[in-house]
Amino acid sequence: MAATSILPGVQTAVEVLTARFGAQLSTSAAVLEQHGTDESWHPPVLPDVVVFAESTQDVADAVRICAAHRLPVVAFGAGTSLEGHIAALRGGLSLDLSRMNALVELNVADLDVTVQAGMTRLALNDRLKRHGLFFPVDPGADASLGGMASTRASGTNAVRYGTMRENVLSLTVVLADGRVIRTGGRARKSSAGYDLTRLFVGAEGTLGIVTEVTLRLQGLPEAVSAATCAFPSVTDAVEAVIEVIQSGTPVARAELLDETQIRACNAYSGLGLPELPHLFFEFHGTPASVQEQAEYVATIAASHGAAGFEWATAAEDRTRLWKARHDAYYAGLALRPGAKGWATDVCVPISRLAECLGQTKVDLDASPLISAVVGHVGDGNFHVLFLLDPGDLTQQEEAARLNVRMVRRALTMGGTCSGEHGIGYGKKDLLIEEHGEAIEVMRLLKTALDPDNILNPGKVVDI
């Protein structure tokens, strides 16, 4: 599956990179294969060369060399992207940031931290725990924080704490010509000029390469409680969540798993739940407020037909529950051993969620494909995982058909073609359908910041 680089002068560029990076550089087949492969359904597309950066200076030097030789450069974190974000579509350099995994500066009093882009979210939370703090954004995978910033990631806590959009305070970014900038300071708010931080959050490495991330942190809540309950249908579950959100209850997590996903999690994580659509809730606050929230939500859920309310009061039960939820993707894959997963997501205004999800379930039930649904339904965001036989083009076409129908349905409802996975090169056409004329502004930005199109070319927008 290796890509044959179409660019002239690659050899010269690799020689210059080798002279600068020595043992930090690799062209071994295994390393190239790993760096051309993410967790998506897209086939691997390999780079010509990999450099393991150890500092912002390394990144700046590598980008400067690439710029001089017009060599594409693709940033690589944990390799957990879901739309081919790290595929080296035009060959070139994969710049691996995983060794840049240091905690640069923790400000406990200000509830902020600066980390290098390669630190993962679990490693960060491990460092924060002793200070009574946590970082709430939690995609399923143990992604790198630079990668999470670059895909505008979110997860189960977004309904309460927001996504990377709200939780990144500022960034260190290497520009397409190798210059290094800071996008902001540590103040909680600022009206000082254009919002450079949000320009790079979600840009998927196409406008610059994120090397350090300053994040807002949260205090670990004094009290936490979690609960699961089963519903007669996905629609009943969604309607319960809508009522909870509209009531203003500050629920910390509200996750939907359909009957297929429950079966998968039972098998993979030993949850032992009835094979029905479920909601998983979590509440954060003082002991009194947690109890107040939980009781209120239980009443609403019951009025929508919920049964089998199970409280996870012990910390280890909660850990097992949320570990199972974070492993939902891997559990889904295990439903069909040897299968390739195709994960997609949309997000709609919450008033349209029951309708959007209901119609999508009808589509999925009518298809011969095996699929599972999970959702951060408190945000109006849900995921479908298709399980495909590798190499079966008919199945792949069927997944593509269902995916396009689901996205177009979401767009007609005021929604978006991706709530948290991003565009990569899998949703570029759908991005155009979503944004219309505004896509031209995205192209203007890309051209202004990366005139030679060396930064992750072929992703997000084509120029």
Structure tokens at 68: 């001089």
Minimal distance, residue 328 CB to a second copy, in Å: 18
Give the span between the Cα atoms of 151 and 78, in whole angstroms.
13
Asked if 302 is part of the footprint of a second copy (rule: CB under 8 A), the reply reads: no
- Quickly tell me which residue has 């192209």 as its tokens: 443
Q: Whose Cβ is closer to a second copy: residue 101's or residue 151's?
A: 151
DSSP 106-160: EETTTTEEEEETT-BHHHHHHHHHTTTEE-----SS--BHHHHHHTT---TTHHH
Q: Which range touches a second copy (CB under 8 A), out of 5-13, 44-52, 202-210, 387-395?
A: 202-210
CA distances from 251 to 1, 221, 234, 292, 355 (A): 45, 13, 19, 11, 22
Long-range Cβ pairs for the range 162-166 (8 Å, 24+): 162/136, 162/137, 163/137, 163/420, 164/137, 164/201, 164/202, 165/198, 165/201, 165/202, 166/216
Asked if 211 is part of the footprint of a second copy (rule: CB under 8 A), the reply reads: no
Asked if 455 is part of the footprint of a second copy (rule: CB under 8 A), the reply reads: no
Q: Which of residues 95-114 bind a second copy (CB under 8 A)?
A: 107, 109-112
Minimal distance, residue 408 CB to a second copy, in Å: 13
Asked if 138 is part of the footprint of a second copy (rule: CB under 8 A), the reply reads: no
DSSP β-bridge partners for residue 223: 285
Minimal distance, residue 461 CB to a second copy, in Å: 7
* Near a second copy by CB under 8 A: residue from 11, 12, 55, 190: 190
Asked if 223 is part of the footprint of a second copy (rule: CB under 8 A), the reply reads: no
* Near a second copy by CB under 8 A: residue from 35, 42, 69, 152: 152
Asked if 130 is part of the footprint of a second copy (rule: CB under 8 A), the reply reads: no
Minimal distance, residue 269 CB to a second copy, in Å: 26
Minimal distance, residue 152 CB to a second copy, in Å: 4
Give the span between the Cα atoms of 408 and 428, in whole angstroms.
13
Q: Which of residues 157-176 bind a second copy (CB under 8 A)?
A: 158, 162-163, 165-166, 175
E strand map for 378-432: 381-388
Q: Which of residues 389-428 bind a second copy (CB under 8 A)?
A: 410-411, 414-423, 427
**Residue among 119, 120, 137, 285 nearest 217 (CA):** 137
Q: Which of residues 309-348 bind a second copy (CB under 8 A)?
A: 347-348
Q: Whose Cβ is closer to a second copy: residue 80's or residue 183's?
A: 183
Asked if residues 213 and 352 have their Cβ atoms less than 8 Å apart, the reply is no
Minimal distance, residue 160 CB to a second copy, in Å: 11
Give the span between the Cα atoms of 99 and 80, in whole angstroms.
16
Structure tokens at 395: 């199945």
Q: Whose Cβ is closer to a second copy: residue 362's or residue 444's?
A: 444
Give the span between the Cα atoms of 137 and 175, in whole angstroms.
26
DSSP label at residue 252: S
- Quickly tell me which residue has 């081919």 as its tokens: 84
Asked if 191 is part of the footprint of a second copy (rule: CB under 8 A), the reply reads: yes
Q: Reduce the DSSP state of residue 15 to 3 states and report it.
A: helix
Backbone angles phi, psi at 341, to 5 degrees: -90, 145
Q: Which of residues 20-79 bind a second copy (CB under 8 A)?
A: none
Q: Whose Cβ is closer to a second copy: residue 168's or residue 271's?
A: 168
Q: Which range touches a second copy (CB under 8 A), out of 61-69, 267-275, 398-406, 444-452?
A: 444-452
Asked if 462 is part of the footprint of a second copy (rule: CB under 8 A), the reply reads: no
* Near a second copy by CB under 8 A: residue from 136, 140, 147, 184: 184
Asked if residues 409 and 356 have their Cβ atoms less than 8 Å apart, the reply is yes
Structure tokens at 309: 């309310």
Give the span between the Cα atoms of 276 and 297, in whole angstroms.
19
- Binding-residue pattern over the window 344 to 383 for a second copy, x denoting contact by CB under 8 A: ---xxxxx---------------------------xxx--
Q: Whose Cβ is closer to a second copy: residue 77's or residue 380's?
A: 380
Minimal distance, residue 379 CB to a second copy, in Å: 5
Minimal distance, residue 201 CB to a second copy, in Å: 7
Q: Which of residues 241-280 bind a second copy (CB under 8 A)?
A: 242, 246-248, 250
Give Dmax over CA atoms of the chain in angstroms. 68
Q: Whose Cβ is closer to a second copy: residue 276's or residue 431's?
A: 431
* Near a second copy by CB under 8 A: residue from 12, 57, 286, 319: 286
Minimal distance, residue 335 CB to a second copy, in Å: 26
